[in-house]
Structures are given as C-alpha cells and as structure tokens.
Structure 1
Amino acid sequence: MKLQFTHGKEPLTPERIQEVEAQLGRKLPDEYKRFLLKQHGGHPEPCEFEFVRQGEKDWAVIAYFLNLGDEHETLSEYLISYEDRIPRDTLPIARDPGGNPILLAVSGKNQGKVYFWMREYEPDDPDEVQEYDHLGFVANSLDEFLGALTKRP
C-alpha cells in the first residue's frame, strides 16, 4: 500500500527549515529535511508500525506527524512538553493517539534512528535522565520507518 497523507500543511521551504533550525538551536537531519520539503505534518495511511522494547515486539499507531509551524500539533510544542522526559539528542516528529511521541535521534551515536516513547515506561524519579532503554526501537532511519508503515496483520 502506498503511503498517503491527509490533514497535512503546505510543504516547507528550505528557508523555513533553516529558520526552524535556528529557533530550535539544532540541526535537522538531511533525511528529515527532505521529508519536510515533501510532507509537512498530517496523518499517514497506513499508520501502524512495529517497535521493539527490551526484546519484545509490539505495535503502535501514528495519529499525526508534527508540523513545524506555530499551530496545534507542533514539534516545538512537543519539545517543550517533553524536553526533560526524552533523550536530549532526540526530537519529537510524530505522536500516537495518546500523545506519546515518536522520536528522531538528531545527533550522537543514534543519529537518524527512530524511537517510540511511552508514558508507562517513563522513570518514576523525575530527576532521572531519560535514556534510550526506556524507549522502543522503531527503525534505523526515517526512510526505513516510513517504508515500514503498514496495517497490522
């Protein structure tokens, strides 16, 4: 099934992506920039994906890819909400129906990989730094993730 999007915004321009990078103080991976130039936010169909957490496979659903604007469902909004709860080298790029973010590692040894953060696995200690062992691994790259979106068997 070909990946399609509904409820998306106008694709971003390279100039707008540079503005967002300056606002965030972070460089976005090239693969994510290419995605934003074609697709900006919205609901994908198919929208289900498999992830692995502590050796166990499970399934989740994408409600929306976050947009980089200043309206509802924005990357900035999620980054502010989750900044002390997700690894510092990740950015939220999408969310599930319950608001749990799908993350893209933007630097470090995990750069380019996609992860799924879930409230139920968040550390109880609010001072504990969120590490990758609390996340579900989704894909080695954004393109791999997008290509693996499917309907659950």
Structure 2
Amino acid sequence: MVNFKSLGLSEAELSKFEKLGIPYKKSLKKELLAASKIGPASEAEINELEADFGRLPEDYREFLSTINGGVPDRNGFVLNGKKISLSEFFAVDGPKNISQTIRSKLVGYENRIPSNSIPIGGTVGGDLILMFVGGHGGFSGIYLWRHEIEAENAGNEFYGNVEKLTEDFSSLLASLV
C-alpha cells in the first residue's frame, strides 16, 4: 500500500527547515502552507474534470475523493530498465497560485501535452504523468510525457514523447518502488 504526504508543508515543518538554515521566500512559504491544506476533491470538482475529459476510471475517482494529490512514500517506477522518481500526484484544484494541481498544469502545459490527456503527476526531472481517458485517439491508460523531446511545432497533437507506463492508476500505484 502506498501512503501519501501532503503536497505542501505545515507551519511546524517549515519552521524545522528554517531552523536548519533553509530559507523560504514569502511567496513560496504561502504556497506550501496553502498546498498543505488541500483536502479530498469534492464530487463537484471531479464532475467538472469529467465534463472536460469524460468519465474518469473508478480507481482514480476514489483517489481524488479520498487523497486528492500528494507525495507518495514509494516514489520510483521502472521504465525500460531505468528508475524514474515521481515527485507528486496533483490535486484536482486548490487555492489560487498552487502549482501542484491538474488545473494549473492544464494551463501551464496548454498546447504542449496531448489535448486528450490529463496531467496527474510529475517526476523529479520535470516530466509529467498523463492519464488518457476513454481511448481517445487510440490512447488509454497512464503514460510518461517527456518534456525534453517534445515537438516544437506539433503542439498538443504530438505523441512521440509519450511512453505507456500502465493500463490504469491502480497498476501505477502497485508498480511504485
């Protein structure tokens, strides 16, 4: 079973890091505190996401309604014999200026990721974990989107930098090491 930490840091955690000499800009501190307060996604938030992408798989709906993003305690997966470190799974939405949400990633990666995909997580190296719902364009399941080989002109219709990880969200969680 995978356990999750909050996407942000509490006052106590920030204090501990500051005592160790790790400074935080005011804006980052505010974002980390706000992200730590993100709770389970509401049915309305999930329905809004589904209005844009179609019905989400039940395992992922359950994740959003109970956990809604976070940092997994087992955060690596193996692809083609190489271990890749997952940094977090995104929440559906959150307070303004929170970067670890699906909504913020959709805005930030507009015209860069396939239009029929949902960014559900990120790697330490800056790549995204995408979910394709409903077999749009022949794709379904969970994929790794590599930012360093994205096409300059193809935009959201380019699929040459996506590589399948698993068939579903539960399988991705089960594969984490």
- TM-score w.r.t. the length of structure 1 is 0.80
Which protein shows a greater Rg?
A: 2
Task: Name the structure 2 match of 1:69.
Answer: 93
Consecutive aligned runs of 4 or more in structure 1 exceeding 6 Å deviation = none
Name the % identity.
24
Task: Name the structure 1 match of 2:56.
Answer: 29
Instruction: Note the 1:1-153 alignment, pairs <5 A.
Output: 2-8=1-7, 9-22=38-51, 25-30=52-57, 31-51=59-79, 56-71=80-95, 72=98, 73-107=100-134, 108=136, 109-111=138-140, 113-123=141-151, 125-127=152-154, 129-131=157-159, 133-150=160-177
Contact 2:72–2:88 (CA<8 Å) still a contact in 1? yes
Q: How many Å separate the matches in 1 of 2:106 and 2:40?
A: 21
Higher relative contact order (CA 8 A, sep 6+): 1
CA RMSD of aligned residues (A): 1.9
Tell me which protein shows more helix as a share of its residues.
2
Gaps of 5+ in 2: 8-37
Contact 1:84–1:130 (CA<8 Å) still a contact in 2? no
- TM-score w.r.t. the length of structure 2 is 0.71
